Amino acid sequence: TRHQTRRAPVARAFASCDLRQRGHINAAGFASFCAALNPGMPPEEAAELYRELDPAATQRVTFSAIAECLVRALDREGGGAATA
């Protein structure tokens, strides 16, 4: 489906940053993840997004949290990812 096609590069980028394969990445891994998906993203923007995804300051963000954030963003943009 279209949703799976759009999700594949995100999953690959996450896996490449989740070096220990634990299902979560820290702030440095998240910065690398963002750079892999959007090389033009300013580091400050990646850091702000990381703080939004880790409001409890656990120092880790899961793939699930990132996926949920992307689905919400796509829905706001009319991408309909949740129904694809």
What's the pTM?
0.80
What confidence tens digit (pLDDT) does each residue in 19-75 have? 999 999 999 999 999 999 999 999 999 999 999 999 999 999 999 999 888 888 778
Query: How many angstroms separate the CA atoms of 49 and 1, rounded?
Result: 27
CB distance 43 to 59 below 8 Å: no
Pick from 56, 55, 62: which is nearest to 26 by CA?
Answer: 62
Q: Tell me the two tokens of residue 55.
A: 């409001």
Under DSSP, is residue 49 helix (H, G, I), strand (E, B) or coil?
Answer: helix
Q: What's the rounded Cα separation, in Å, for the pair 38 and 20?
A: 23
